[in-house]
Every structure is written in structure tokens, then in C-alpha cells.
Amino acid sequence: MLVIAVVAVLFLTLGGGGGNGSPEDAAKGFAAALTDKDFDKMRSLTCPEYQDNVDDMRKLYDANSQLEEIEKQLEGLPPEMRESAKKSIEAAKNIKITATAGDVKETSDTTAEATMKVTYENVPEEMKALMKDQEDTLYLRKTDQGWVACDK
């Protein structure tokens, strides 16, 4: 009996349940995953029809993916232009993203809304127009896998 209790506690505390048993857990888990750039965790906290959006975010925030894509696009350009692009990507590696889940409001038995604030630090000058602090609503839906980020 003690073994079952220990396994149950480990299952819950180590994320075996996905950390999304409530809308608050899902919102906080999603924010933590974004802050940590843990796109696999973020994907697990997103409904299936929007998981491609997480994959797109991975490309946007992953400097190595950006570098590979830019290198493909710049193959025919002079070396100094390729070097300039690599420097920009290198500077982007220092960008710190912090996501914070705020108030969570259940709007029905199966839907909820959370305030999500995203802030950026160490943004290179040439990227500041694209990466501005923002606050938005994270829509959550209860599924068989727990609460996940989804559309309204």
C-alpha cells in the first residue's frame, strides 16, 4: 500500500499527470514552458489542432533553427552578408523570454481564460520592433488529457 502511495505522489509531483489538472496548472505550466523554451512541454499543454503553432514558435525562438534557415536562404550571397546574419542570430541567443500566467477565470466546466504576460530582455536593436512585451489572453479547454491551451 505504501508503494502505491509513493508512486502516486511521484506521478503527480513529477508531471506524470501533465501538470494540467486545473486551468491554473495548465496556464502556469504553459508559461513556465515558454520561459524555459521547453517546446515539447508547451506542445503537450496545447490542443492537437494548435500544436503546429508551437512548432512554429520553436523555429522562431530557437536560434539554431533560425541559423539553419537563414543559411539556406543566404547561400548565394557574399560571405560578409552571411556573416552579418550569423551575428544577428548569435545576438538573438541572448534574448530572455519570461512568461507569467496571471488571473485564471473558468468560463464554463470545460473552458477557462488566463491572462498571459510575455516580456523580452536583451533584444538586439534590429529585432525590437518585432519583440515587444505583450499581455494577452490564453484560452484553455478541458480535454481527456487535462486542461490545455486552445482556441475559444
Round to whole Å and give the CA distance between 132 and 123: 9
What is the assigned CATH class of domain 20-149? alpha beta
pLDDT (tens digit, 9 = 90+) per residue, 64-85? Answer: 666 677 667 777 778 887 787 7
The domain segmentation of the chain, as residue ranges, is 20-149
pLDDT (tens digit, 9 = 90+) per residue, 4-40? Answer: 322 223 223 233 344 689 999 999 999 999 999 899 9
Q: Measuring CA to CA, which residue among 107, 147, 113 is closest to residue 21? A: 147
Round to whole Å and give the CA distance between 23 and 113: 8
47 within 8 A of 18, measured Cβ to Cβ: no
Is the model's pLDDT at 122 over the cut of 50? Answer: yes
